[in-house]
Structure formats: C-alpha cells, structure tokens
Amino acid sequence: MAKRVVLAYSGGLDTSVAVRWLMEEHRVEVIAVAVDVGQGSEAGGEDWESIRQRALAAGAVEALVIDARREMAEEFCLPAIAANAKYEGKYPLVSALSRPVIVRHLVAAARAHRADAVAHGCTGKGNDQVRFEVGTRALAPDLEVLAPARMWGLSRAQCVDYAAKWDIPIGQTKEKLYSIDENLWGKAIECGIIEDPWADPPDDVYTLTQISATDPLELVIGFDAGVPVSVDGRTLAADELIAEVGRRAGSTGFGRLDMVENRRVGIKSREIYECPGALALIAAHADLEDLTVERDLHHEKARLEPRWSELVYDGLWFSPLKNALDAFIAESQRHVTGEVRLRFEVPGTLAIHGRRSPVALYDHDLATYDATDSFRHSDAEGFVRLWGLGVATWAARQGGRDAGRPLDPNPPPRQADRT
C-alpha cells in the first residue's frame, strides 16, 4: 500500500476533493503538483499561488507549481507540428500532448519526494486516464497509479458537499456547464448541451476564437528545419510564437472544430475544440513541406503521420514505435526551411497565399510554360512510352477491360427516367 502519493492537481473541484479523499480512504500523504502548460490564457494565465494554497487547504503536505510552458512548446508541440499531427484528420491532440508533460513532472516529483504512487483526477470514461497511466508505466513501472475519481462514485453535487464538509475552498457550484481542458495548444470542451451531437454549440463555449478583428489578417511564419521560429520576421521562442499565432488567428474566429471522435475506451464523443494557433501552424508547416520535401519522402511521411497521431492520442507518447517515427520525422525535416504567408478572413477562414524557401524543390524554370522553360521536352516522349508500356502490352494481348467497346449513341433510359 502506498504511503505517499503525488497527485496531478488542477485546482478544480475533482482534484481538490481527491486530495482529502486519498488522505481519508488510503491513509496517504498527498503531494499536489500543478503543472502550468498554458491554461487560462484568456485571463492571462491561472492564479497559481491561489491554486497552490487551495491544495494545501485541502490537506496536501506539499504543493508544487511547475511552469512547463516552454517544455510543452519545445518538446511536445514542435514535434506535433513536424508530424502535422491531427487525430482522425482533424483534432490537433491538445489534451493528448499535455498529459505526457504532466506525467514527466509527476514522476520527477515522486522520485524527489520518495513517493510510491502517483494519482490523477480522471474518470473511467476518457482518454486522459489512459495517457496518465500508460505514460507513468513507461517512465516508472514501479510506481502505483491511483485514480480516486474512478473509485469514489461521487456525483458532482456530492463532491461539492464533500468539499464543504472538509472546508476545501472551491469556486464551483453544483452546476457546471462544460468540462474544459486547456493548454498552449488549444482548448477542449466537453459535456453539457454539446453532448447532443445535433445541438448547435452555444456561442459561450468559445473563448479563444471570439471575433475581435474587423479586417483580414496576414501572418508570415518563418520555419527553420521544420520548426516555426518567426512571425512577420520577428524571432520568438516556441511558447511565445504559439501563443502569438493563436491569439492573432483566434481574433478572426479561425480555429474552431466540432467533431465526433473515437475515444480509446470505445466511446464516440462529441467534442468542441478551439485551436487557432495549432491549426494555423500545422497548415503553414504542411504547405512548406509541399515546397521542400522530396516526393517519395513526402508520400511516406504522409502515410506515417496518422499513425503518429493515433499513438499520441492513445497515450503512447513514451513508446518504441513513437520514438522510431520521431527519428524518421526528424530526418524528414532537415530542409523544411522558409516562409509561409497565411491570410485569415473574418469570420474564421484561413488560406495560404504564398510560400518560399532557399532550398525549395520547386524550380521555376522547370515548371514554367514561358520562354525561360528549361525542361527537356524531348525526354518526355520516351519516358511516357515506357511508363505506358505495360498497359499497352496488356491492351494488345488481353484486350484490356473496355477494349473495343463502342460508345453507345442511344444509352438505355435510367431507372428514374422511366415512366
């Protein structure tokens, strides 16, 4: 039985109740670890000191706040950009990227404080429990993982009562509209009215993509070896750059997603996301790859990208296949250097209006139809004949499939036309 537990603490109702519940039910000491991955952006960030105090008020023997924004940006968001990562072709993995960052810090705190378990506040229905637990297993197979919210069977109202009974200061009431998870890469919104996949998401679910711009917006993103490094010529650190692109793209209303997705635990769920920065940066990056990555490498990478996204979604950030794919992707990014010009129209559309690179594989003189054309047209004749040789032989010897079928000048009437 564990004696000391490191809990992933958000400051919300569930994890606050979890502090006391672990103490009472498991007789353990709780060390609360709150990891800043860029949540609360529209309020200029969370009030971390009051979150820390709340953990202590709930009974934690120690409460730590860790600023992991740059780490999240550099070690998690940048690889996601390189992988053009979108789960099921749409969702840029907002929550899935932050859980391994948090896991890293839980494990580090467990080691530093000689804890024998970590804990999280996830329920049994979601992906985040998978990410916390599989991630912890990968980094520290000896640590136990406790999931109080999966064990306690308390309703939200009962949690509020529990908090009141133990004098745990919480801001929430028994009503809660949505379940929200936010970080540098965007925001995920679940529960409430949006659980009806037919229902319009109410306007109040959106915070990062409320339109404040009146005019179209142009942004030039500079990349160096697959890494976005500048906005309009200004060099920025990864976390600043992601925040800046997110803020500006979001002001045009760009970055909303409304989708039904397949969770790892077998449930389809309706999700609303706001990811203006993530979606804009991935679009820009993918476009620059079109210009700079050799064809076969590009096609192979495109086949591997969905796999990378699935692994990360499914909690396998720390896993051998993911590591091997990372090595492939890193190699593919060597020449993804240049600039992409993005234009956002109000409300909420993005088009790529230009791209350039000192190492572009686009060769104007090869592509052009004007006088500077350097393409050897005579090479095409033999090339195309050989390309079609197999098909020509098939047609001659085996008749092909449609060989010799004359076009019928009076086709029979279609079903719908008959009377």
Looking at the DSSP bridge assignments, the partners of residue 186 are 183
Does residue 69 carry a catalytic annotation? no
Binding mask 78-107 for ligand ARG (x = CB under 6 A): -----------------xx-----------
Gap between the Cα atoms of 87 and 97, Å rounded: 12
Cβ proximity to ligand ARG, 128 vs 289, nearer residue:
128
Cβ proximity to ligand ARG, 166 vs 178, nearer residue:
178
One of 14, 29, 46, 190 touching ligand ARG (CB under 6 A): 190
Question: Which position has the token pair 């500048």?
Answer: 230
Cβ proximity to ligand ARG, 57 vs 145, nearer residue:
145
Looking at the DSSP bridge assignments, the partners of residue 119 are 7, 146
Can residue 128 be called a binding residue for ligand ARG (CB under 6 A)?
yes
Least CB distance from residue 96 to ligand ARG, whole Å?
5
Least CB distance from residue 269 to ligand ARG, whole Å?
6
Question: 49 burial class (0-12, 13-18, 19+ CB within 10 angstroms)?
Answer: exposed
Least CB distance from residue 250 to ligand ARG, whole Å?
18
Does residue 95 carry a catalytic annotation? no
List for the chain the helix, strand, coil content (%; round to 5): 45, 20, 35
Least CB distance from residue 10 to ligand ARG, whole Å?
9
Least CB distance from residue 362 to ligand ARG, whole Å?
36
Q: What string of DSSP letters covers 3-55? A: SEEEEE--SSHHHHHHHHHHHHHH--EEEEEEEESS--GGGTS--HHHHHHHH
Does residue 14 carry a catalytic annotation? yes
Contacts of 302 (CB under 8 A, 6+ apart): none
Contacts of 221 (CB under 8 A, 6+ apart): 228, 230, 231, 245, 280, 281, 284, 339, 340, 342
Least CB distance from residue 316 to ligand ARG, whole Å?
13
Does residue 303 carry a catalytic annotation? no
Can residue 271 be called a binding residue for ligand ARG (CB under 6 A)?
yes
Is the Cα dihedral 349, 354, 355, 361 positive or negative? positive
- Listed in order, strand segments (DSSP E) in 80-201 are 117-119, 144-146, 179-183, 186-190
Gap between the Cα atoms of 135 and 258, Å rounded: 28
One of 181, 287, 305, 314 touching ligand ARG (CB under 6 A): 181
Alpha-helical (H) ranges within 251-319 are 276-292, 295-313
One of 53, 179, 319, 357 touching ligand ARG (CB under 6 A): 179
For residue 328, what are the CA distances in angstroms to 27, 239, 281, 298, 303?
A: 47, 24, 20, 11, 12
Selected catalytic residue, list 20, 52, 54, 99: 99
Can residue 312 be called a binding residue for ligand ARG (CB under 6 A)?
no
Cβ proximity to ligand ARG, 96 vs 293, nearer residue:
96
Gap between the Cα atoms of 38 and 184, Å rounded: 5
| Total residues at interface with ligand ARG (CB under 6 A) | 9
Cβ proximity to ligand ARG, 17 vs 342, nearer residue:
17
Cβ proximity to ligand ARG, 128 vs 305, nearer residue:
128
Selected catalytic residue, list 67, 161, 179, 230: 179
Least CB distance from residue 273 to ligand ARG, whole Å?
8
One of 119, 188, 249, 272 touching ligand ARG (CB under 6 A): 188
Residues found near ligand ARG in the complex (CB under 6 A): 95-96, 127-128, 179, 181, 188, 190, 271
Catalytic residues: 14, 99, 128, 179
